[in-house]
Amino acid sequence: STSQSWTKQFQVNLHGPVELTQLLSPYFAESSSVLNISSTLGLRPIANTSAYSASKAAMNSWTQSLALEWSKRKIRVNAICPGIVETPIQSFYKTTDTSLRDQINSAQPLNRFGQPQDIASMAAFLVSDEASWMTGSLIPIDGGILLNS
């Protein structure tokens, strides 16, 4: 049912990370960093993604609220908002259908969908000392797809 779909999306995409972060909160030292993985759909939804998009938008809001709340503890909180990344969760993962791959790639301004390393590189930066003045940031890593209207 629709209600079950919404409940599942919010349990997985919001409640799980919130509960884990709350459990770990006492162990965060000053200058720690929390990094959430959100989605471009939390920034700009598309049709037929309402529950997922709403859960990621809620995560974005929580990321920024927590960044404000935990700034007193010098704990930074940011989120990466990936676009289409080739992982096993995607239906086209490792497809040999070249027309499908071409169609997906052509929708991206950089003409390719993302790879896990694209996200990992930003994650490593955001939790490093080099990003010590970043908190509350929602960073799209999407090959420019948010630029398309």
Question: Is 52 annotated as catalytic?
Answer: yes
Q: In what order do the strands lie in the sheet with 33-37?
A: 33-37, 76-82, 138-141
CA 126 to CA 76: how far, in whole Å?
A: 9
Exactly one of 52, 62, 70, 113 is catalytic; which is it? 52
Contact 35, 79 (CB under 8 A): yes
CA 103 to CA 36: how far, in whole Å?
A: 29
Catalytic residue set: 52
